[in-house]
Amino acid sequence: MPDALYPQLPSVDRLLHDVTVAPLVARYGQRLTADAARTLLAQARAHIAAHRALPEWTSNWSRALQQTLAERSASKLKPVFNLTGVVLHTNLGRAQLADDAIGAVARVMRAPVTLEYNLDEAQRGHRDDTVAALLREITGAEACCIVNNNAAAVLLMFAALADGKEAIASRGELIEIGGAFRIPDVMRQAGCTLVEVGTTNRTHLADYRNAITERTALLVKVHTSNYRIEGFTSAVSEAELVTLGRETGVPVVSDLGSGALIDMSAYGLPAETMPQQILADGVDLVSFSGDKLLGGPQAGIIVGRADAIARLQKHPLKRALRCDKITLAALEATLRLYLRSDQLPLLLPTLRYLTRPLSDIAQAVERLLPECRNTYGASFNIDSTPCLSQIGSGALPMNTLPSQALTFVPRDGRGRTLEALASHWHAQPKPILGRIADNRLWLDLRCLDDESELLAALQAAGTRNLSLPTIEEQNKKPFAR
């Protein structure tokens, strides 16, 4: 009789005063523990109503409470295994910080710091001075301005230098990158009028020259990082724009996007324009991201001529877009690594992943293969398969790096089985993120730091019940993404 089962459930009050629950109250507090107890009691009542029996877990209330509380208190920012093959994955937080940067962040979080305090002159300093000397040394710039991200940097450049005026940009460079960042919209927000010149595939210096009027405040160059126009094309270089800008007294700014501070081709990677090259061409300001190829924290970095930077620093938007001590500490520590450039691939995770030798990745795959076959071999054919990693974060999608993956092909040949495996891995305490393509689930090991940690996670996931859909279910249920 179910009615006889309900009185067997404890009250919230009795649970909270149970000796086995006391440590949970001490750790999570009275309120959260009571909430968890009420949730579990409701679940138990529903179970009794449906099954005329107590749920099994009611034999150990403190363990059930512990699980509920741990799940509810876990951070929503979960560390994951990034085996997607995209090194700088925007949805996974882009660059992983170097140990030095992590240490620097922890130090400044624990104590008051000289963020805007100049000890030598016992007067107010400027927060961007934290990294100014380093950026001057690395890029040859006169000055710098640091904001929240590169989108903010572009907005600030337009607002401070061209508000109420016109900015000239090539039609072939009016980019959209993820998250509604479109150059024409950013210009409108900054209060400046976009003057489009040229055509989608070809823009000439004369196009810029003919568009210059007394209202022109800026010549703008935008790095087309995430696409390429091929065939009958022509674009105007920064150096040419600078010549025109000098003749006509109009400043030139460049949104470089990724902005590698070292020559990527020296590491066998696709060449990427460096801010120091653009500055050497004479551009007034160049902006780039802190968390793309640079390998640091999210930030927008603007370097260039002192007078132009001073106008950005004085603009009210700078106050709204400025970085805190945490970002500045991480950026400073990351930039400092660039002074030890021979050791950079060892010290900077982004560069370490990008330069990881194929043989290294393939060996890791070989080592994990037998264990994966043990755990998943009944339902999947598992192999070592060549694949291509992507740099990510707006780097050209066609700029790929040869890599090696563990691939899982369902023995039943069904796509839903593959999606069930992917979902099962997503549900693990440290989710394992791969990529589904060509009827396989790919785990690209390029960005794997700790093989034994992944192995343990894969084995633990294999023993938890992976509920593969039955054939009827596969035919009936639409798969929810």
User: Is the separation of the CB atoms in 41 and 29 below 8 Å?
Assistant: no
Residues in a beta bridge with 144? 303
Q: Is 259 in the site for ligand PLP (CB under 6 A)?
A: no
User: Is the separation of the CB atoms in 401 and 354 below 8 Å?
Assistant: yes
Task: Find all residues with CB under 8 Å of 363, minimum gap 6, and list them.
Answer: none
Q: Stretches 31-39, 144-152, 266-274, 366-374: which one binds ligand PLP (CB under 6 A)?
A: 144-152
- Residue 173 CB, nearest distance to ligand PLP (Å)? 9
Q: Is 254 in the site for ligand PLP (CB under 6 A)?
A: no
Give burial (CB, 10 Å; 0-12/13-18/19+) of 452: exposed
- Residue 135 CB, nearest distance to ligand PLP (Å)? 16
For ligand PLP, which residue of 12, 54, 80, 177 counts as binding (CB under 6 A)? Answer: 177
Cβ-based neighbour number of residue 255 at 10 Å: 27
- Residue 288 CB, nearest distance to ligand PLP (Å)? 8
- Let me know how long the chain is: 481
In angstroms, rounded to a whole number, what is the distance separating the alpha carbons of residues 341 and 339?
6
Is the CB of 393 or the CB of 407 nearer to ligand PLP?
393
CA end-to-end distance (rounded Å), the chain? 41
Q: Is 216 in the site for ligand PLP (CB under 6 A)?
A: no
Q: Stretches 55-63, 118-126, 147-155, 351-359: which one binds ligand PLP (CB under 6 A)?
A: 147-155
Is the CB of 21 or the CB of 160 nearer to ligand PLP?
160
Is the CB of 245 or the CB of 300 nearer to ligand PLP?
300
- Residue 200 CB, nearest distance to ligand PLP (Å)? 17
Of residues 437 through 456, those in contact with ligand PLP by CB under 6 A are none
- Residue 225 CB, nearest distance to ligand PLP (Å)? 4
Report strand pairing: 435-437 vs 440-444. antiparallel
Is the CB of 104 or the CB of 293 nearer to ligand PLP?
293
Nearest one of 387, 466, 373, 481 to 427, comparing CA atoms:
466
Q: Is 394 in the site for ligand PLP (CB under 6 A)?
A: yes
User: Is the separation of the CB atoms in 286 and 303 below 8 Å?
Assistant: yes
For ligand PLP, which residue of 149, 216, 334, 384 counts as binding (CB under 6 A)? Answer: 149
Tokens of 195: 């003057």
Q: Is 273 in the site for ligand PLP (CB under 6 A)?
A: no
Q: Stretches 157-165, 173-181, 241-249, 276-284: which one binds ligand PLP (CB under 6 A)?
A: 173-181
In angstroms, rounded to a whole number, what is the distance separating the alpha carbons of residues 285 and 220?
10
The stretches of 163-293 forming alpha helices (DSSP H) are 183-189, 205-211, 238-248, 275-280
In angstroms, rounded to a whole number, what is the distance separating the alpha carbons of residues 184 and 176?
9
Q: Is 151 in the site for ligand PLP (CB under 6 A)?
A: yes
For ligand PLP, which residue of 128, 255, 281, 284 counts as binding (CB under 6 A)? Answer: 255
Question: Which residue's beta carbon is nearest to the bound ligand PLP?
Answer: 257
3-state secondary structure of 404: strand
Q: Is 296 in the site for ligand PLP (CB under 6 A)?
A: no
Q: Is 289 in the site for ligand PLP (CB under 6 A)?
A: yes
Is the CB of 159 or the CB of 365 nearer to ligand PLP?
159
Q: Stretches 64-72, 143-151, 191-199, 237-245: which one binds ligand PLP (CB under 6 A)?
A: 143-151
Q: Is 390 in the site for ligand PLP (CB under 6 A)?
A: no
In angstroms, rounded to a whole number, what is the distance separating the alpha carbons of residues 60 and 145?
58
Task: Find all residues with CB under 8 Å of 239, minimum gap 6, and list them.
Answer: 281, 282
Nearest one of 164, 165, 134, 131 to 145, comparing CA atoms:
131
3-state secondary structure of 84: coil
Residues that bind ligand PLP (CB under 6 A): 149-151, 154, 175, 177, 181, 222-223, 225, 255, 257-258, 289, 300, 394
